[in-house]
Structures are given as C-alpha cells and as structure tokens.
Amino acid sequence: MINQRMDAKDWALLLLLSFLWGGSFFLIDVIVLELPPLTIVTLRVGIAAIVLWTVLLIKGYEVPKSFKLWRAFFMLGLLNNVIPFSLIVWGQNHIGAGLAAIINASTPLFTVLIAGAFLVDEHMTLQKVIGVLVGLFGVGVLIGADAFAELGLNMSLTTLAQLAILGAAISYGCASVFGRRFKSLGVSPFSTAVGQVTAATIILLPMSYIVERPDQLANPSLVTGLAIVCLGVFCTALGYLLYFQILSSSGATNVVLVTFLVPVTAAFLGWLILGEQLHGRYVSGMVLIGLGLAAIDGRPWEKLRAVLR
C-alpha cells in the first residue's frame, strides 16, 4: 500500500535523488569541455542500460519480450532520453548548469498542458490553468526579454541553448503522457526504465557514430572519464532505481517534489565548484515556476489554509 505521507527514509531518498539529478547538470558542464553531445548521451544511456540490466537479471525480474512493448519502449526512449538528453547536453555548451536545471524544472507545466489536451481523465481545472500561466511567466522571466526580442534568424547561441532546454522539458512532458500506457500494459516501472534506456542506446549508437565519429576523438581525461561513469551509473541508473522506489512507497504526487529540489542542487553545485553566477532573474524565474508547480499540486495551499483556520 502506498503511504501518501513520506517518512524520514523517503525524504532521505528524495533528497539523494535531487542531488543525483541536479548533479547531472553539473557533470555535463564538465564533460562537454571534451566530448560532443551525442557521444555523451550515448555513453550515459549505454552505461545506465548495462547497470539496469544487471539489476534486472540478478533480481530475477521478467524480461520484456513482446514486439508491441518494445515498439513502445523505443518511442519512450526517444521522448524521455534521446531528444531531451541531447538537447540538454547541446544547450549546456552555451549556458550554465544552474540555468539549464531551472528551465528544465518547467517540465511539469508542459506535462499538465499535454495531458489536458490528450488525456480524457486529465482535465484542465482553473487551478491548473493558473499554475501553468504563472509557471510559464516564470519561464519567460528566466529566459529574459532580450531573448524574446531577438527571436528569428539572428538568435544568439545563448538564446538557442535556452530554447533547447525548453524543448527538452516539452519532450519530457510528452514522455510522461506517453508513458501512462505502460501501466495498462501491465509493465512494471522498473522494466519500463530498462526498456527505455536500452531502446535509447540502440537508437543513439549509429547516430553518434555517423555524426560525431567518436572512434576518431581524442581520449578523454581521467576527470571526464569519471564524470561520464558517474553520469551513467549514479545520475541515470541509480536515479531511476531511487525514483521508482519512492514512487512505489509514496506515490507519484510525492515523487514529483523532486522537481522543486533539482534546480537548487544544480545551481548550488555550479556556483560552488564552477563559479557560475546566479542572476536575479534566474532566482525570480525559479520562484515563479515553483509557485506555478505548487498551484498545480495544490497541497501547499491546502496546508496553508489548514494552518490559518
């Protein structure tokens, strides 16, 4: 039975997950100095696939076999790994980890919009509409008026990078809606994670080889190599394991709280280790996105009303 109130263990796991996923933006900032985007993403999902398959086989979980299921895994891998991971890595060639993570925190806003448009049981309520509008305004503040003024053929790389991260958030939103079908297919969340990173690896291997020829690249430094391993093993494979552990014990409503924590972790690591600056509009945008997410979630306002009574 799912416990809707998180205990100390679940909070600890949630904080660890936020550190791992926030840390992924920091690690990408390190890796992009030496390796191109598709190669980074291929290594990330490939390493994660090896780790997750090892866990699946050791635990004796059933291996997904049907063609219909693997066709769905490939679509999910495209929407939840290939497209967003590639856009984020490319974007972080031009903007810092903190800003990328804050923009990416808008994912639930797009999930609500897409779900409201395509799912009959996910109607847009007034509360959700207000939350989405506040959150999208926060995204606008975050990106800045200058970026909107230069939309067109002469956009700067910084603006394109911010739009790339926004595209990743939209892709994640599409993946969340598409992923709903796996529950009706009787597929466990863990098997879904294994299937999607495996499919993503299969898609990316030929793409990265043709586009970037990684076999002709210089060998990465020890620091970059360790960062890649950490990105695949901890931020991706272990991140999925923690995510599904919290999902099974506390439910989807509680696990989404990680969205609030990831940008804080990424911004802090970027500031502490890489010396990245957090401008005022970044903080303002993050606060507005947080308020939008809180409005969509509803629980913070319910607790506030209960306290004021």
79 lies in a domain? Answer: yes
Please report the pLDDT score of residue 203 as a whole number. 98
What is the total count of domains within the chain?
1
Domain annotation covers residue 23: yes
Range(s) of the domain holding residue 46? 8-106+157-277
Residue 215 scores a pLDDT above 70: yes
Q: What CA–CA distance (Å, rounded) separates 81 from 77?
A: 5
Residue 114 within any structural domain of the chain: no
Query: Is residue 65 in some structural domain?
Result: yes
Residue 93: is its pLDDT beyond 90? yes
Residue 125 domain-assigned (yes or no): no
Q: What is residue 1's predicted lDDT score, i.e. its pLDDT?
A: 46
d(CA 6, CA 221): 41
Q: What is the mean pLDDT of residues 271-300?
A: 77
Supply the mean pLDDT for the chain.
Answer: 84
Q: What is the pTM of this model?
A: 0.86
| Predicted local distance difference test score (pLDDT) of residue 107 | 84
Label residue 270 by pLDDT band (50, 70, 90).
confident
Closest residue by Cα to residue 102 from 292, 232, 294, 287? 287
Over residues 7-26, the pLDDT tens digits come to 778 888 988 998 999 999 99
Most confident range, picked from 89-103, 108-122, 201-215, 248-262: 201-215
- CA pseudo-torsion sign 177, 183, 186, 189: positive
Q: How far apart are CA 93 and CA 91, in angstroms?
A: 5
Quick check: is 299 in a domain?
Answer: no
The sign one gets for the Cα dihedral 203, 204, 205, 211 is positive
Residues 153-186 pLDDT 10s: 567 888 899 899 999 999 998 998 888 888 778 8
Residue 274, token pair as written in the block: 């890489």
Asked if residue 201 belongs to a domain, the reply is yes
Closest CA to 28 of 142, 104, 135: 104
- DSSP state letters, 51-90: HHHHHHHHHTPPPP--HHHHHHHHHHHIIIIIHHHHHHHH
What is the spatial distance between Cα 39 and Cα 167, in angstroms, rounded to a whole number?
20
Q: What is the CA radius of gyration of the chain?
A: 19
The DSSP code sequence of the chain is: ---SS--HHHHHHHHHHHHHHHHHHHHHHHHTTTS-HHHHHHHHHHHHHHHHHHHHHHHTPPPP--HHHHHHHHHHHIIIIIHHHHHHHHHTTTS-HHHHHHHHTTHHHHHHHHHHHH-TT----HHHHHHHHHHHHHHHHHH-HHHHHT-STT--HHHHHHHHHHHHHHHHHHHHHHTTHHHHTT--HHHHHHHHHHHHHHHHHHHHHHHH-GGGSPPPPHHHHHHHHHIIIIIIIIHHHHHHHHHHHH-HHHHTTHHHHHHHHHHHHHHHHH-----HHHHHHHHHHHHHHHHHH-HHHHHHHHHH-
pLDDT above 70 (res 40)? yes
